[in-house]
Structure 1
């Protein structure tokens, strides 16, 4: 059974408290089970593990909301039989092997603050700041030592109304470098700009989006030490793109549902129904 339990208490118009718990199962994807080798280069290959098992997570959260503007949350996440990627190496053959194993259990915890505000009639903003930590234990002998550190996660999403028909969106997110179990992980950030313009009495919309402008949201400095060998991995599957879209709505907006209904009634009278 994987229950979800939620309780809420509204102390007054300004303060609301909530407590929730959920148990979940995380099943590995098919490609993680596929045992065939996929060569990355002449000295490195990746393969799945057909004996990989699912993991379980128990999630607890206590939250306080003030005027539905400021929200504080404290949460704990417990993972058992956790699985993930292992980078191993064979110094004799100078070969790197990327595989998957159920090798850890972890206790993840944190505290977060979310703030929604209208700084002016033309400026609304959604902001969040989280401090995250973890304690990891290896349940399989992989000849490595777990380590964990504090992680800071911040995001801000801002909408600016530049006129009755013009909107500007500016978003920024940042995750600090941190250590989590087997890995040390580099920072990630993203800076996005969006623009929307309505034309011809809102029958046409022009939208522009520049996503991850500085190309900094990819996985970088993914570092582990197994069998005394330090390995550093980066994967730049770039999220940077630019998109321009134009939408035009055809049709006569003066026709409403009531007019169509009257037309149907007249047709029925003519047919004798």
Structure 2
């Protein structure tokens, strides 16, 4: 009867994951209704779009790319950042300059980490949370985390089921019936994933449904306007990250940020 214990474990993994996903979806839907009732439908700034798309680190990346495009920050292909203009135009730029330090030069990776954790980014995040556009940090389980747990439960059920089928049994239970029992929790997990996809729940860590709608609207306007002007380029970086950078030298500065420096 050891296979029954494996079946109980399969149901436990699946039931817990699906319950967490459902509760997260309910909390998200309630927050979305509150945001809609409060009328928080507006245009996003580039910093807000960056945060909702990729979190604090994306805000730091956008700030550095914007400064580099204006020749006020030099981002070398070796992964180093050098300050050209020490006067930041806003608090995000001031945060990046402060993260680089008084010597005016630093590796990009630590600058990115330090700038992402500054008070300016925290205030940006708090404002988006109050507006119902971002997911609070203290949310017990987000929809994104719930989806990951349900996706992880499916292979666990398969592994437990395969183990039970490969074990010798003394109860005379037909293998086909045993497989059917394990198919039930697997079907529950797959059904939850299918419903989440139909209802449009995406695995985003930062943006609430209201924030996702504004990001979608911003992205559509960017697509209609093309990528010829500077704002369209920066909008692409805010939404897609450094993979939207087409300039080889500038992109190399970020792709080499985690490699050790060689003299």
TM over 0.5: no
- Richer in strand (by share): 1
Structure number with bigger Rg? 1
- Normalising by structure 2, we get a TM-score of 0.18
Higher relative contact order (CA 8 A, sep 6+): 2
With normalisation by structure 1, the TM-score equals 0.17
